Amino acid sequence: MQKPIKTVTLIGATGLIGSRLLSRLQNDDHIDSIRILSRRPVELTGPKTNVQVIDFSDLEQFRSAIEGSDAVFCSVGTTQKKVDGDEDAYRRVDFDIPVNAARFCAETGCKHFLLVSSVGADSSSGSFYLKIKGEVEDAVQESGVQSVSIFRPSILLGERNESRPGETIGKVVMKVFSFLLPSRMKPIHADDVAAAMLWAAKQGREGFHFYQYREIKN
């Protein structure tokens, strides 16, 4: 029988999936404490919620923030626009944060690590975005965490707090032609991903597991 999940850590709580996941965690009677790790102050309040602003490059501080967690959810990510095209800055967010989080899970005895990746993630991809996502998956797989769940959504549906015109156009196009797409490429609502992440955390299946469109919907 799996140990109940009481204390969870969420990285990326202000994003499209993270915000939905936070709401579900706050309304789950089995969760006693929610730690939100953030790079900057955020206005997030609610039951059981504790926001910790940390420097993710300070590895001791990062490790300390992870310690004591029963499960760590990571949905952090940036965009080329936010980092002004600086690939090193991009990598510090999209690679360093999730990989270090997984490593600290293993070191501190946290048994569940759940990560939002992307459909098409592949460390040998010619796409910078998909290559990094694949490299993260590879590194997390080697972290030694007992239970790792990787979520690979395609286009995400739901209202963001920021404007992404290109993504908005993509949502419209993919929704219209979704019946022509293979299941893994179909757009999916962010709340469905959040629900699947919480479910997977509670299952705590040992090993390395991928969730794409069909698995997330199921």
Catalytic site positions: 129, 133
Q: Residue with structure tokens 């991009």? A: 90
CA 197 – CA 71 distance, rounded (Å): 11
Contacts of residue 116, Cβ cutoff 8 Å, sequence gap at least 6: 12, 17, 74, 75, 77, 151, 153, 193, 197
Residue of 93, 43, 208 whose CA lies nearest to 140: 208
CA 178 – CA 172 distance, rounded (Å): 10
Structure tokens at 159: 């209202």
